[in-house]
Amino acid sequence: MGSTGGSGSTATQGPGEGATTNSPPSTSGPADSTGAGPQTSSDDGSTSDDPPDTETTIGEPDGVPVVVSLAHGGQTARSCDGGQTWSDFHEFGIQDDHSDYAAFGGLTFGNGAFVAATGWGASGRILRSTDGVTWEDLPDDAFVTPKGVARPSNGASGVEFVGDGFVLFAGSHMWRSDDGSTWTAESPETLSYSGHFREVEYLAEPGLLLIAMESYEVQQSWTIQVSADGGATWQTGTGATAECVGYVQHVGGFAAHDGRILIGGGAGPTCVSDDGGLTWIGAGNLGSEIADVASYDGGFVGLVQSGEVFASADGQAWTPLGNSGLDGGRLGWHPELGFFGEGGAVYAHSPDGATWTDAASQPPKGYIHVREFAVGGLPSCP
């Protein structure tokens, strides 16, 4: 899920606003077979041995930029100094990727709150925090459907802050919330294609909500669903191939810079779109299995499983920045904080993407790969 692990020009969302994006340097369930809206059943066969997915949510902060990470088991941690130190480690449940707290649904920030979506092959859970330390596991009555109160029963494919509120893909509905604490299910407009949701991401820079969707019938056959109005209506993007989308639910993701959108999640190739996600063509190759992609004020950045970090102005030509020392994992960037990342249960940070230092404080034993970072602007930290 790339947000820094995926997304537009970097940013951190402030207390009253925000945007989701991926950024570094300078299985989800299906929509129903009729195409009548997204569902999030977990039948992708992913296992706990799958590599970590890579996504990061960022927006411009009005307050102190606070970094929060999310991993399987609903594991969270917080950094007040751009990843130099980490604290407030918290865990909700087992770390298995088919459980209530499997973290495929990701993490976002907006309107003063961090919101995480978890659950795969099990009930969907929404975790909410206004400081990145104290988290509420929302109760059943926080979810309102046309038939009454009901928690999503089929896991969560993705949660994003789309500029004026949150959207969630979980169960057989798309849900909306102003503050992340109370959710109302909608019957979303018919998607023009049905399939497995593998990646859901909002890119603030172009203002687009994207879904990487894999065909039910043909494995590794992809389309990109695109919404320019926060999920009210959808169009289908074509041309993104298995070579560049690959295993985007577990690694890589979307990123955007200067009107161009990039996706990468396979063995090295990437694809780009210059028309808002509707047409995709092959782009540059990082030459090794992608762990994460993101964007920054100079273009795009990519992290490969060996820990090498690459930069590109346009997604076509990639040049090495340095080795992060991370074992795959997730990568992020913020204009005030620089780079931060995690791989192999080790956090690290860098001012320039070239020289990396392990964080002074590391997670407790048993903590696993981060699946997403989010940066939010809070009044203070700690």
Q: What percent of the chain has pLDDT over 90?
A: 54
Domain that holds residue 284: 55-378
Judged against a pLDDT cut of 80, whether residue 316 lies above it is answered with: yes
Q: What single-letter DSSP state applies at residue 141? A: G
Do the domain assignments include residue 117? yes
CATH assignment at residue 293: 2.120.10.80
User: Does 132 or 52 have the greater pLDDT score?
Assistant: 132
* Span 131-156, pLDDT tens digits: 999 999 999 999 998 777 777 777 78
Average of per-residue pLDDT values in the chain: 81
State mean pLDDT over 148-165. 85
Q: Which of 15-24, 141-150, 169-178, 285-294 has the lowest mean pLDDT?
A: 15-24
Do the domain assignments include residue 275? yes
DSSP string spanning 102-132? -GGG-EEEETTEEEEEE-SSS--EEEEESSS
Do the domain assignments include residue 39? no
- For residues 248 and 5, give the distance between their C-alpha atoms in angstroms, rounded to a whole number: 11
Do the domain assignments include residue 47? no
pLDDT confidence of residue 55 = 47
- For residues 161 and 253, give the distance between their C-alpha atoms in angstroms, rounded to a whole number: 17
Do the domain assignments include residue 35? no
Do the domain assignments include residue 187? yes
* Span 92-116, pLDDT tens digits: 866 666 678 888 889 999 999 999 9
Judged against a pLDDT cut of 90, whether residue 259 lies above it is answered with: yes
Terminal Cα distance for the chain, rounded: 28
Selection from 1, 2, 106, 8 nearest residue 334 by Cα: 8
With beta carbons less than 8 A apart as the criterion, state whether 267 and 243 touch: yes
Counted domains in the chain: 1
- For residues 369 and 105, give the distance between their C-alpha atoms in angstroms, rounded to a whole number: 15
State mean pLDDT over 15-31. 35
Q: Is the peptide bond before 30 cis (omega within 30 degrees of 0)?
A: no
pTM: 0.83
pLDDT confidence of residue 172 = 64
Do the domain assignments include residue 363? yes
Strand order in the sheet with 113-118: 107-110, 113-118, 125-129, 136-137
Q: How many CA atoms lie within 13 A of 228 on its CB side?
A: 8
Do the domain assignments include residue 224? yes
State mean pLDDT over 284-303. 93
Q: Where are the alpha helices (DSSP H) in 157-284?
A: 242-245
Selection from 256, 231, 94 nearest residue 160 by Cα: 231
Judged against a pLDDT cut of 60, whether residue 61 lies above it is answered with: no
pLDDT confidence of residue 119 = 81
Phi, psi of 330 (to 5 degrees): -120, 150
